[in-house]
Structure formats: structure tokens, C-alpha cells
Amino acid sequence: MPIATPEVYNEMLDRAKAGKFAYPAINVTSTQTLHAALRGFAEAESDGIIQISTGGAEFLGGQYNKDMVTGAVALAEFAHVVAAKYDITVALHTDHCPKDKLDGYVRPLLDISAERVAKGQNPLFQSHMWDGSAENLADNLSIGQELLAKAAAAKIILEVEITPTGGEEDGVTHEINDELYTTVDDAIRTAEALGLGEKGRYLLAASFGNVHGVYKPGNVVLRPELLKDLQEGVGAKYGKQSPFDFVFHGGSGSTEQEIATALENGVVKMNLDTDTQYAFSRPIADHMFRNYDGVLKVDGEVGNKKVYDPRSWGKLAEGGMAKRVTEACANLRSTGTKIK
């Protein structure tokens, strides 16, 4: 069962919450980066999450049509086939979808899964993300209510981002400022609108100074201890201990202590994209520099087919990214925790 059923995905998240570890959620943009993520999880003996952003899905849809739904469905179907060769379990997830792309991405994908479930099959994706961080909280949660109902009906978990994450992700940009910290009031309003599981399960991307992309030390002030305040504030109001399943966005460059604190406070999923992109690209750059006169037909020569064959540098890229995924598993304490 390499692609998690709805029941197994819930079990995965419950095990992470109870064991105070998190699953690396690896963004992929190709079948090759998919294999790299699967390989990294398998080598770490960790289950995990594979995710596709709107930009990644558009790229996967091909540059002729650039259709996001086609790209996402194609990779998901491919994953259902090839993941069977890996001795781990993964969930498929769609990353950041803002309001203007819902009709062209998440809503059609929810409909596809609803049709599958109606036929007695499992949903194509196990979770989808609604990124309403650019909207005011009332509008964000209103749309979240609609999407959560549709997701729950299709046996899918919804991820919601209620307040901004800094930096840029697929064209959605937020400044790095004091608004990057979710308040207890924000969390209470979220619980009032979306419930605490009775309306459908959701993952919460709360902001504690997170920033997407690459940043130098000192430019970002992460406060993962804030997640404890949110858990306790909402927990006290509703009489429920640790009510939220948190997601850590913008984790590239985070310290081990920051990650550890986040795990202790309920983070069950941590997104990785920037670091794995570099880990994939770095071996390719090295190969090209080392084999300059082979990958190029310099001064009328014919080059060297063995070094410009995409398989020669593609294998190196897969290995580099897989290694970074295994490191993420170690940092998030998921190494060796796969479902037997």
C-alpha cells in the first residue's frame, strides 16, 4: 500500500502527533524528482508526503498547454504506479493554491476524487491546500468552510494557511514583517469556523515568522514556541488538548533547535522545496562544469554523447536530492518510523 488510503493517512498523522515527529513534504516537478523523493524516504525508512504546487503542476502539464489539473493528475497516476516499488507509504498533496487558482486547480481535483470515491475507489490525492493568506481572515475561513466540506465528502484532508508566510511561493508574495505571527485570536476564529475535526480533518499552517525561499541567518526571526500558545489558547476554550495538527512552511535554513521546538508543539508536516531544488541541481552543475567539452560541441567537435545523455547527469541529480530527503527525515525524527 505505497499510496496511503484515507484511513492510513489519518493514522500517519496521528502517529506523528503522538510521537512528536513530522513528515517531510517534498515538492516535486517531474517524474525524476518524484523518484528522488521516494528513494530518500525509502532509504530513511520513513513514510512521507509528496506535494505539487500550482507552478509545479503547470510545469508538469507541459509548456504547450500548461494545464495544472492535467499535470497534477498525470503525476499522481504515475506515482500510484511507481511508488509500488518502494517499501514505504506516501500521501499525495497539492501545495499552495490561492483564491484566483481554486477553479483551475483544487476544485476540479476535488471533483475528480469525489467521482472516484463514489465508485468505491480511494481519492486521487490525500490532501489539498487552500492558501487564503492573501485574503482577510473572514473571507479566508469562509472559503475554507466550503472546501473543507467538499474535501471531507471525498475523504480528503484540507490544509489551510490562515495568516501570511513571508517571501514568495509561485507568485504569492508577502513582506517579512510583524504580520508573520498568528495570534491566539486568529486560531480561535479558525476553530469556530472550521471546527476541530467534527466538520472534517484539516492541517493548519500557522505563521511563526516563516519565510519561503532562501535567507541568510539573522534575516528571519522564527518563534516556534508561539505554536504552544495557539494550542493552549484554543485547547482551554474547547477543552481539548493540543487541538491542532500544524504545518511548518518556509523551513529552509531553519536550525535543529527551531525544528525540535516546532515538533514538540504539534507540527506533523514540514514543507521542503528550496533545499531539495538545490540538492537536485547541484550535481547537474558539477557534471556540466566537469564535462564542459563533452556536453557542448566545442570548436566544431562532436562532444561526448555519454556525458550529455540526460541519464548521465539525471542519476546524479536524483541521488543528490534523495540524500537531502534522508537528512530531512533525520531532522524531523521520522527516520525508521514507517508503517510496517
Task: Report the catalytic residues.
Answer: 95
Contact 133/174 with Cβ under 8 angstroms? yes
Beta bridge mates, 270: 24, 248
Instruction: Name 133's Cβ contacts closer than 8 Å, sequence gap at least 6.
Output: 140, 161, 162, 163, 164, 165, 172, 174, 207
Instruction: Name 252's Cβ contacts closer than 8 Å, sequence gap at least 6.
Output: 213, 214, 215, 272, 273, 274, 275
What is the C-alpha to C-alpha distance for residues 335 and 49, in angstroms, rounded to an integer? 14
Q: What is the DSSP string of 71-111?
A: HHHHHHHHHHHHGGGSSS-EEEEE----GGGTTTTHHHHHH
Amino acid letter, residue 26: I
* DSSP H/E element including 227: helix 226-238
